[in-house]
Amino acid sequence: MTDFLEIAGWILLSSVKYIVVIIALLAHSSRFWLYDMLIVSVGGSIGVSVFTFLGSLISKFFERYSFFKVSYKNLRRVVLVKKGYGLIGLVFLTPLILGVPFGCIITTLFEPDKMKVFRMQLISVILWSVFLFGCKGLIQFLN
């Protein structure tokens, strides 16, 4: 039962703080690397689903009550990435640098087709987890 709760916690946390969970599981997990990759991929996929399709409602809520302020400097960097590399650049940086919630909300603001954003974000989350945990598996195999 405790394993189930631990995995559920990692999944929920990875839907919001993707890179934090990756770093924690890469550093301290004793499970086989494939299980950790699946945990992070499922959590990231849940986060992408929620924040892509409900992101406009969430951003309107925060806009109305202004709990969080996005600084102009950070938003300017996002716009520069969008101008330089397009939607693919934003999607590529979302899991590791921007974070799943912020990245999904920002990309849905730039791209009106939510299914396109969903597919691209989902591919990005899965590819990053396969790459990072695949490197861990390769290192474990070579040792």
Whole-number pLDDT of residue 91: 92
- Rounded mean pLDDT, 40-63: 86
Quote the pLDDT of residue 84.
80
Q: Is the pLDDT of residue 68 over 80?
A: no
Q: Kindly report, residue by residue over 90-108, the tens digit of the pLDDT.
A: 899 888 888 899 889 888 8
Task: Answer whether 55's CB lies under 8 Å from 103's CB.
Answer: no
The full set of domain ranges for the chain reads 2-142
DSSP class per residue in 29-71: --S-HHHHHHHHHHHHHHHHHHHHHSHHHHHHHHHHH--S---
Predicted pLDDT of residue 111: 86
Contact 68, 15 (CB under 8 A): no
Q: What is the pTM of this model?
A: 0.84
Tell me if 100 sits within 8 A of 48, measured CB to CB.
Answer: yes
Mean pLDDT of the chain: 87
74 has pLDDT over 70: no
Rounded distance, CA 143 to CA 130, Å? 20
